Amino acid sequence: MFNTDQLTTSGAEYVPVAAHSPVAGEIPPGRIPPWKRILDVAGVLLALPILIPVGIALAAIIKIVSPGPAFFRQQRVGYLGKRFMCVKFRTMKVNSDTTVHQNHLKELMTGNGPTRKLDCKGDPRVIPGGFLMRSLGADELPQVINVLRGEMSLVGPRPCTPYEYDLLSLRHKRRCGAPPGLTGLWQISGKNRTTFEEMINLDLHYVKHKSLWLDLKIIALTPLAIMALVWEMRILRKSGLPQGPSLIKSRPVYEEKPASRFPGTLPARE
């Protein structure tokens, strides 16, 4: 696992910014190395014999346990601040209230609590079997479509929603200097135990130091991280422990940005 203590504030903050960035002064333009695109396409094509039957089975299960479509689309913010439609398996009931997640997200961004999802302690909006799918990351399998389209990568920072992006500081937005990924440095570094600022530091570290070796290492460690996350979330649900600042020691928050209005998005879930 990656040690977040290795990241210093100054080291994580420094990312050069160029004037020709689509959002000048906010996001470093960076450059996607050729090896990354080759790894993305090759990885998806090699996994298709497994992904296709698993995807068909999951889609059928969703249709059986919950009325509505099997797939869910939501606008996300990707590389250099460009927006795209992210595809996922639907794990929440149709027309679920999105303000619950928005409020939870604001608390994570402005507090020092661990970045845990709401369903760690139960969420009535989640469909039967949805908790397991979300714990395993199986709901994100359709995002291989986004990878093939060049909107995402196998490895990179988590793609944020437009309302989350509007809450980010200029420093935070620099995480968009790399394509968003299915997995990333944050996911293999104990994401349920890191604060929002620690997540940002990990993302900025990846933006600055991405390499073929680092991507391969993250991909290799992802299955172990998923198993550890599933075990941890099951323990939390059974123990009924609260999720929030009380679970960890207080850590300094480097920057905070006042909450802004939320632009309209498609029905959301996280």
Interval 100-137: pLDDT, tens: 777 777 777 777 777 766 655 567 888 998 888 988 88
Side chain identity at residue 260, one-letter code: S
What is the reported pLDDT for 124?
Answer: 82
Give the SS3 label for residue 219. helix
The residue ranking higher by pLDDT, 18 or 230, is 230
Tell me which DSSP letter residue 113 carries: S
Q: Could you report the per-residue pLDDT of 148-191, keeping only the tens digit for each?
A: 999 999 999 999 999 889 989 999 999 999 999 999 999 999 88
Segment 252-256 shows an average pLDDT of 36
Closest CA to 148 of 48, 33, 41, 43: 41
Inform me whether the pLDDT recorded for 24 exceeds 60: no
Residue 66 pLDDT more than 70?
yes
Three-class SS state of 83? strand
Q: Is the pLDDT of residue 17 over 70?
A: no
Supply the pLDDT for residue 228.
Answer: 87
CA 270 – CA 249 distance, rounded (Å): 25
Q: Which residue has the higher pLDDT, 252 or 229?
A: 229
> For 30-50, what is each residue's pLDDT tens digit?
678 999 999 999 999 999 999
Place of tokens 């992210």: 86
Please state which of the ranges 20-24, 64-68, 119-123 shows the lowest mean pLDDT. Answer: 20-24
Rounded distance between C-alpha atoms, residue 48 and residue 186, angstroms: 25
What pLDDT sits at residue 121? 58
pLDDT at 15 over 60: no
Mean pLDDT score, 225-254 = 59
Q: What is the pLDDT of residue 82?
A: 94
Range with the largest mean pLDDT of 1-5, 65-69, 116-120: 65-69
Distance CA 47, CA 44 (A): 5
| Listed residue (132, 141, 149) closest to 52, CA to CA | 141
Q: Where are the domains of the chain?
A: 27-247
Residues with Cβ within 8 Å of residue 147, at least 6 apart in sequence: 40, 41, 44, 153, 154, 182
Tell me which of 10-19, 89-98, 135-144 is least confident. Answer: 10-19
Distance (Å, whole) CA 89 – CA 22: 31
Planar angle of CA 110, 114, 118, nearest 5 degrees = 90
Task: Tell me the per-residue pLDDT of 198-231, one tens digit each, with 9 for 90 and over.
Answer: 999 999 999 999 999 999 999 999 999 999 888 8
Can you give the pLDDT at residue 30?
62
Residue appearing with tokens 């391969």: 216
